[in-house]
């Protein structure tokens, strides 16, 4: 069975909104770029090279589809453009980006994708999708890159829904620029 791996940039105050700068109109958009380093770059390249597909929510998919097809580079852009991309959306009617496919139902379609042939599946960002995956217990690994800053609010990974989810720490390390990388697996 394939594993679904969620990877998130997250602030100390739990915000995952607009780390790259153009996803929303958050006043502190682009907050993660101030911490670029070879160490974090290598982690993200290694992460991408370990999977066979991407799973994205509609908003993240649209941001990626507007940027990545125009990019080239063996470490990151080429794999992102080549890999199968699954976007979960009830409203999209078609997708133009190379090797992209629409899934309509998180519980049914993503569960079927996990049971299909192939390697692991990586989820970037995609806050609404990730919350649904968490709710339906479809995440096999949660990777958080915790940045040493707070931005005072925004979209958070975990809502105040009082739903209990437990995780076991698989791996942790601190990068050269103070980012904490935490890899968790759900535990029951």
Task: Give the residue extent of every domain in the chain.
Answer: 38-175
CA distance 115 to 109: 10
Q: Coil, strand or helix: which one is 152? A: coil
Q: Print pLDDT tens along the chain (188 aa).
A: 999 999 999 999 999 998 888 778 888 989 998 898 898 999 999 999 999 999 999 999 999 999 999 999 999 999 999 999 999 999 999 999 999 999 999 999 999 999 999 999 999 999 999 999 999 999 999 999 999 999 999 999 988 778 899 999 999 999 989 999 999 999 96
- pLDDT given for residue 92 in this prediction: 93
**Domain over 38-175 is classified CATH 3.40.430.10:** yes
CA distance 7 to 141: 8
- pLDDT given for residue 20 in this prediction: 85
- pLDDT given for residue 22 in this prediction: 74
177 touches 145 (CB < 8 A): no
- pLDDT given for residue 124 in this prediction: 96
Give how far Cα 169 sits from Cα of 28, 35, 142, 152, Å: 30, 24, 10, 27
- Provide the whole-model pTM: 0.94
- pLDDT given for residue 188 in this prediction: 67
CA distance 188 to 3: 17
Give phi and psi for 180, each to the nearest 5: -95, 120
């Amino acid at each position: 069975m394939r594993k679904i791996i969620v990877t998130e940039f997250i602030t100390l105050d739990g915000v995952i909104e607009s780390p790259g700068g153009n996803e929303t109109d958050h006043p502190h958009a682009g907050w993660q770029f101030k911490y670029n380093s070879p160490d974090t770059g290598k982690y993200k390249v290694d992460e991408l090279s370990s999977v066979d597909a991407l799973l994205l929510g509609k908003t993240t998919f649209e941001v990626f589809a507007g940027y990545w097809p125009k990019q080239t580079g063996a470490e990151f852009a080429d794999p992102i453009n080549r890999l199968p991309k699954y976007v979960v959306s009830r409203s999209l009617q078609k997708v133009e980006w190379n090797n992209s496919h629409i899934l309509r139902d998180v519980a049914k379609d993503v569960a079927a994708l996990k049971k299909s042939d192939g390697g692991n599946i990586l989820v970037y960002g995609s806050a609404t999708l990730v919350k649904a995956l968490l709710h339906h217990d479809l995440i096999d690994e949660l990777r958080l890159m915790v940045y040493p800053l707070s931005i005072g609010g925004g979209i958070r990974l975990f809502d105040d829904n009082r739903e209990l989810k437990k995780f076991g720490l698989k791996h942790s390390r601190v990068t050269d620029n103070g980012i904490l990388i935490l890899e968790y697996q759900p535990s029951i």
